[in-house]
Chains A and B, each alone.
Chain A
């Protein structure tokens, strides 16, 4: 028999007083798709970084193909045939896709060949990717595709994927899974990090569950249920979202016939987008990233005030040309997809970050009441259970999930009349996800109109009352979430919905 492709024994890693990994054992066979399951902070990422050579363990040993190995650097890991797709991307914004991938490869390969390799590899796995596009114009989902193709180009023997499906359509997830199964059948081992239980159950052969840095169990996910896996992972039953039937009121936000030309050649033009959100309902917009979500959100928030004044109405007022602050004064609040750099300023304290959208602590002509501001931040930190030393902590030192809780909390605490949220739980752990979702539903129950733009269909099915789909800058008609199916949404995400009065033109090339 073959020895295991990778075996870890008693791996321990401490960061100061925190034990990230405590005597962790892990065995991955050749051709096995092995899930590593755990909440954020359970030690998954540290373990993967140890395998990838980016972090050095304090104790423990590692065997590669049955032989002891010490992986000192990612470079060495790549030489062994280990490739990794990180959750946080390491791409240069101003370079093209091909140039980014080229940078990680041997310099002797000419750039045009890298570009053609990318195209053929992307085609082979059904991933849509234009090597000539500049990274800064790509959405989060598209950037992830770059990382996946980059990893596949090295023909790895062990591929590590850190939460790769968060931004894919159901069909694309299926495609990716087919790819991964195909890859595994050729003998490549796959380490699949996730906290999505049903994905693990449908894809993986074996599952190691981490909790608080230790192995909580090793099991065969195909015979476990979602509930048993979840209990292993959290140590308790998963939180349930309580929700009552919606009571939609008056129209709060109305978009009618909004068309916007694209800003640059990589942008998406909006065509005749019409939607409405009523008070007391959560409306979702599904779609694969890069189909006009960014453009629509900027037009709604006022960051892009090019729209016709009458194409966007807020409580009957035409606001298409109003600026961000004018709309906020009318009760429209917005949580953007990018947390650091847009939703929050990295170097500013949490308290000062309140001042981006909140003015309660501003006195007279513009004095900042520091004490009031700190108290305000403190109350949001407490109410939304943000794990942080305090209001003076800079935003950049918070984990993604915690910062998201704080930013969502900042906007919910403002008691908005309309809340527009992009990717509310991207990269956020199970506990925080449940909390953010229940806060959004609670906001709806309080009469707020909530619009959620997300690439996570499960999330939209869980919290929305009505669903639209955006594809290539056009918006589908809406369907009540209760009567929508994953298959239908998936088709619509490809732009295939029957347009009223023009049923034949739906599939126009």
Chain B
């Protein structure tokens, strides 16, 4: 039943989308075609979809680990930005010093620098929670804005391209530093394969190892975790650092991938979209892959719909929101039954006279 919930939620969202197109005076059939079908028309679009899916997979898999163990990391976006800064900074340094690197030789450095920077940023809420019981939801969320401002400061200040006509961006990275592409002529890169591998490894970790089981016990049954002697601290650090690293790698692949430079707009909200993906994917790493594809379609289809039927750009965000709300509603209705008569029955009959 709980696996069916995302399917029902998707159907509801498509229905709402059709109504929205109609209300906006657009042809719903054409709109839905642009939204759902066109992302699959042709290799060009499919590879672009893969490119959009990559950061979603990486971020959502990390978040799924967190949420399973009751660690509410909402700051994937900030960790994503720090990953971008870490790997982007390295690529910038290499480019500006004219160092000779090979694409495949540099690729591991992209991953490591992205992962370390993202994990470092995630370590802040983990440390504050561990040491001072600070709420990780608030801290990680607020650190997103700190990361954003830090990135802006770098772009407007020390890392600004001296020959960039004062635009807030770094130099364009040398082609040798960017993530190698899978097919020549298409932007899809090997980061996609890394994301799939990460999802698979996370699945193995969760369901085939004792450490994974320990994470899973701590979330729904903290008393059982204490009874078993599983450390809540270790779960906190493991999940926060892992998800920080995965989000960081996502940011690295974006900056040193299709962007090819750092700008203040390196992310288009992947870290937040990934929260929806994690729940659509039922907090299962493999489910997150499917969820990422779905949300990737929405992101791309939303853009397609802008061209095809001239809908507002905000529509894609609306669909994401509708999907999440529909999903949460489905989950609620699967677990609970709504009974109107209870409300009436709760009013005592003699109350009418009083």
B213 in complex: contacting residue of A303, A334, A336, A368, CB < 8 Å: A368
Over the window 34-78 of chain A, the binary record of Cβ atoms lying under 8 Å from chain B Cβ atoms (1 yes, 0 no) is: 000000000000000000000000000000000000000101000
State whether B226 touches A106 (Cβ < 8 A). Answer: no
Bound form: Cα–Cα A352–B220 in Å: 14
Q: What is the bound-complex CA distance between A366 and B228, given in angstroms?
A: 16
Interchain CB contact under 8 A, B210 and A343: no
Give every chain A residue within 8 A of B354 (Cβ-Cβ). Answer: 108
Docked-complex contact A356 and B228, CB < 8 angstroms: yes
* A344: chain B residues within 8 A (beta carbon): 224
Asked whether, in the complex, the Cβ of A368 is within 8 Å of the Cβ of B208, the reply is yes
CB distance from B228 to the nearest CB of A (A): 4
Whether a CB of chain B sits under 8 angstroms from the CB of A291 is: no
Contacts of B221 in A (CB 8 A): 341-342, 345-346
CB distance from B258 to the nearest CB of A (A): 37
Interface: B24 (CB within 8 A): no
- The listed residue (B220, B229, B346, B351) touching A346 by CB distance below 8 A is B220
Q: How far is the CA of A336 from the CA of B220 in the complex (A)?
A: 18
Give the residues in chain A near B216, CB-CB below 8 Å. Answer: 345, 348
Cβ-defined partner of B210 (8 Å) among A73, A334, A338, A355? A355
Give the residue of A73, A75, A341 whose beta carbon is less than 8 angstroms from that of B223. Answer: A341
Digit string of A351-374 for contact with B (CB within 8 Å is 1, else 0)? 010011101001000111010000
Asked if A367 meets B224 with Cβ closer than 8 Å, knowing A106-B348, A352-B213, the reply is no
| B345 at the A interface (CB under 8 A) | yes
A324-B209 contact, Cβ under 8 Å, with A108-B354, A348-B217: no
Interface size class of B (residues with CB under 8 A): 20 to 34
Query: In the assembly, what is the distance between CA of A342 and CA of B221, in Å?
Result: 7
| Closest chain A residue to B341, Cβ basis | A73
CA distance A306 to B121 in the complex (A): 33
> Contact: A357 with B224, CB < 8 Å?
no
Query: Could you tell me the distance in whole angstroms from the C-beta of A323 to the nearest C-beta in chain B?
Result: 6
B211: chain A residues at CB < 8 Å are 366
A370 to B212, CA, bound (A): 14
Q: Give residues of chain A (296-329) contacting chain B, Cβ–Cβ below 8 Å.
A: 301-303, 323-325, 328
| B132 interface residue (CB < 8 Å to A) | no
Whether B209 contacts A73 by the Cβ 8 Å rule is no
B227 within 8 Å of A by Cβ? Answer: yes
| Chain B residues with CB under 8 A of A106 | 348, 351
Give 10 A-B contacts (CB < 8 Å), ordered by A residue. Answer: A75-B346, A108-B351, A302-B229, A324-B228, A341-B223, A348-B213, A356-B224, A357-B228, A367-B208, A368-B213
A contact set with B: CB distance below 8 Å:
73, 75, 106-108, 301-303, 323-325, 328, 334, 336, 338, 341-348, 352, 355-357, 359, 362, 366-368, 370
